[in-house]
Amino acid sequence: MGLFLLLKFTRHMKKNKKLYVNLGLLSFFIWLLIFSYNSSKRKPENVSDLLNDFSWLHQWPKWLDLPLMKYINIIFKKLNETYGWIFEAINNFLLWQLMTLKNFLILAPWPLVVLGVAAIAYFASGKKIGTTVFVGFCTFFIGFLHPIFWTKAIETTSIMLISIFLCVTFGIPVGILMSRSERIRDKILPILDLMQTIPAFVYLIPGIMLFGLGAVPAIIATFIYAVPPLVRLTDLGIRLVDKEVTEAADAFGADTKQKLFGVQLPLALPNIMQGINQATMMALAMVVIASMIGTRGLGDEVLLGLQQLNVGRAAEAGIAIVLLAIVLDRITQSYGERLQARNMPTKKEKN
């Protein structure tokens, strides 16, 4: 009998699932209201006061305040005290990577670095001379604007390269996962929205307390800000692969792994490249903000120009950041174009 009732009840629950979920949410909301009222320090002495004096309808009442801040602070403090060593380890690892890259680039003679960047542009663009010369000149002009900018640009670039490396190692797998399951995508999309919209300072300040001042919180912040477009474009790129092509792969008996690495990823590569390009541009946008937490680099110069009311200094540094953006954009973009051209042989024949 009892079992029967339970069975009936579960069936009933299943049928009206949505209703119960909504009811649950409503009761949770009411509980929140009561909870925050009770924990507020500025509530009236008696609940009945609320019915006698309606002035609280006029202005948002001080007692109608979710005590989220208090709990976040408690959790954060706990995190810092108990799990500080984990963040320390991450910090040391990222910093070691960064210092190695930075010291290598700084110790290398600058003409060699300029030539190196031009060489990368040359091969990435498929041996286009125009792009190569343009990129080479832009690189040269960063140092030409102000000798200090050369080292600063290298510092900025190192931070960005590490962030982009993190973006690629985490972003592409997540994008692939999203493209394969509707459910995972529904869960991840809001998180990506959150990452793109939440103001950077919200996670920069706790970042300092966890990782210490300097480059590492900036790398983490840049990662948070720059990874969403890469995830989105990887997901989109794989889903845009022609159905016929994947069907053909199925017909040849390819398993999931072969299909992914042999068909879907190569065809999605232009889109993924675009994602990397977008992530790079977003990362550059973080440069100035990152300098507000003691990160060395070009953003530092902009901030200093601003704080000293030195228009020329800020503008020079701003132009240097734009030049750096052009260099990185041209390299990634032209590589993407080349991939695209390779993936569309029919179009090439028509031309």
Partner 1 sequence: MRFLKKLGLSMLFASVLALGTTSANAECKARLGDFDWSSANIHTAISAFILEKGYGCQVEVTKGSTTPIMAAHYDKQLDVITEVWYDNIIANYEPYVENGTIMNIGVNTPDSQQAFYVDKTTADKYNLKSVEDMKDPKIAALFTDPEDPSKGRMTSCISGWTCYTVNLVKQKEYGLDEFYTNFDPGSGGALDAAIAGAFAKKKPIFTYYWAPTGLMGKVDLVRLTEPKFSKKCWDDMSAVVEDIKANGPDAYKPSCACEYRDMALTKSVLTEWAKAHPKETKFLEKYTVPTATVNKMLAFYEDESDGDMELTAREFLKTESMWKKWVPAAVAKKVTAAL
Question: CB 86 → partner 1: shortest distance, Å?
Answer: 12
- Annotate 16-76 with DSSP letters as a single string: THHHHHHHHHHHHHHHHHHHHHHH-SS--SSTTHHHH-GGGGTS--TT---THHHHHHHHH
- Annotate 161-185 with DSSP letters as a single string: HHHHHHHHHHHHHHHHHHHH-HHHH
Of 194 and 205, which CB lies nearer to partner 1 in the complex structure?
A: 205
Of 214 and 229, which CB lies nearer to partner 1 in the complex structure?
A: 214
CA distance 204 to 277: 24
The three-point CA angle 10-14-15 to 5° equals: 120
Burial of 17 (0-12, 13-18, 19+ CB in 10 A): exposed
Instruction: Check residue 59 and report its DSSP letter.
Output: S
Question: CB 167 → partner 1: shortest distance, Å?
Answer: 22
Amino acid at 120: I
Contact set with partner 1 (CB under 8 A) = 41, 65, 69, 77, 80-81, 84, 88, 91-92, 95, 99, 201, 204-206, 208-210, 212-215, 291-296, 300, 303-304, 306-309
Q: In this structure, what token pair is assigned to residue 249?
A: 């792969």
Of 124 and 290, which CB lies nearer to partner 1 in the complex structure?
A: 290
Question: CB 221 → partner 1: shortest distance, Å?
Answer: 12
Alpha helix ranges (H) inside 108-199 = 110-124, 129-145, 147-180, 182-197
User: Which is it for the CA torsion 104, 106, 111, 113, positive or negative?
Assistant: positive
Question: CB 168 → partner 1: shortest distance, Å?
Answer: 24
Of 189 and 285, which CB lies nearer to partner 1 in the complex structure?
A: 285
Question: CB 161 → partner 1: shortest distance, Å?
Answer: 16
Of 81 and 349, which CB lies nearer to partner 1 in the complex structure?
A: 81
Question: CB 6 → partner 1: shortest distance, Å?
Answer: 47
Of 56 and 137, which CB lies nearer to partner 1 in the complex structure?
A: 56
CA distance 104 to 109: 10
Question: CB 262 → partner 1: shortest distance, Å?
Answer: 43
Of 49 and 88, which CB lies nearer to partner 1 in the complex structure?
A: 88
Question: CB 285 → partner 1: shortest distance, Å?
Answer: 17
Of 91 and 334, which CB lies nearer to partner 1 in the complex structure?
A: 91
Contacts of 173 by beta carbon, 8 Å cutoff, 6+ apart = none
Q: In this structure, what token pair is assigned to residue 333?
A: 């973009």
CA distance 216 to 131: 33
